[in-house]
Amino acid sequence: MSITILGLGYIGLPTAAMFASHGTKVQGVDVNEDICRIINNGKIHIEEPFLAEIIKEQVSQGMITCRQEVSPSDAFIIAVPTPITDDKIADLSHVVSAGQSVAKVLKRGDLVILESTVPPRCTLDVLLPVLEESGLRAGVDFHLAHCPERVLPGQIIHELKHNNRVIGGVNMESAEKAKELYSVFVEGEMYLTDTITAELCKLMENTYRDVNIALANELAKICERLGTNAWDVIKFANKHPRVSLHAPGPGVGGHCLAIDPWFVVGAAPDISPIIELARKTNDSMPKYVAGKVNGLVPYGSKVVVLGCTYKPDIDDLRESPIMDLVELLGDNYKVVIVDPFVDSYDIDVYDAAKDADLVVLGVHHQQFAEIDLTQLAKVVKKPVLLDTRNYFSKSDAEKAGFEYHLLGASDIPQLGLLEAKREVALTNESDFPHP
């Protein structure tokens, strides 16, 4: 069987690597000429553990090639981007374009799988009509299915093979054909359903996490106001066997969590207020953190931000809340970014922190654990540390000489419950003039 994969990005390229390394020749297609050139030279344009070695080997053996145009094939996997507009509407132009390219070469018996994360009904209402411009009928003349990826960056190779998959077909025969194809390398369970269920399954997996994080972020704000520590609240609450609160932070990024819930809202805006509010809550966190910076150092101060990717230990900047934070601070502060995973920001942390007035921990890269806080405190102008991830130990930071502030924790001294209540009351009273 010949396989064509359209879109050789964070999902398409690892998927091509898995098929090829399990004995199936893959024709990759990408509209970006530079990406094709890089891949055909046996190299990769993204960072992902183990991927470079596989691509190098499979390209050298002729199992993977890349071109810009679609040729006839037995199976087509569409893994193109599905970004969101400024109006929070899904941009499906890449899906449409890919479908049009496939329609030109589609023949009876072919299998088309949409892997891109898409809004509900996209497979039926957007992709299917485009493919049927070929004159062939979905579910009759060719097979059509939606099989969303469910992998974690940094662990994609392992999870592509071992994770369970949900496959939605326009009919059961299409779902079965897709299952047969993925069986080449997938060892996890594969569950067959309809396309709308499969679309919503992927969206709700990420929406669940987004709503949970929004709850944690709201708790962080509440705890700061009430004079306690959200991280302690979460730790103790999660001792309950049926509670699993996520951690707060400076926002939610990435192509999935920051976008997928909007796909659900867009499909039913009048009956999804919880999902929409959670999204707005998480989108508000960079501004909230910027407000904390404003309260710690005056305008014109030098601020060093540690980490700018959307999650730890990857190079992906897509929808990064830290980049939103940097933009918010940029007009009023001298901002320097340090990130070992991004070439343009891979600079020595101690050099970057010279004469800094504030250090902000934005992303908890494992490499930051190697930072010598004592040395860092010596090079900054003012040893003030704002930790948005509960990454550094408060006692270690203060021992090193830092004034330590934690997102989600009140700066009121922890003097015991009664004293904390008294301090909060006094603080609140001071906000109002006495009659």
Active-site amino acid positions: 202, 256
Within the chain, what is the greatest distance between any pair of CA atoms? 84
Could you tell me which of 337, 410, 405, 404 has the C-alpha nearest to residue 377?
404
Q: Which two tokens stand for residue 247?
A: 């951690």
For 96-102, the CB contacts below 8 A with 24+ separation are 96/126, 96/127, 96/130, 97/31, 98/6, 98/7, 99/126, 99/127, 99/130, 99/131, 100/130, 100/133, 101/6, 101/29, 101/69, 101/70, 102/6, 102/70, 102/76, 102/78, 102/131
Helix extents (H) in 104-169: 122, 128-131, 156-162
- Cross-strand partners of 3: 26, 75
3-class DSSP state of 387? strand
Using an 8 Å Cβ cutoff, are 338 and 302 in contact? no
How many other C-beta atoms are found inside a 10 Å radius of the C-beta of residue 239?
A: 7
The length of the chain is 435
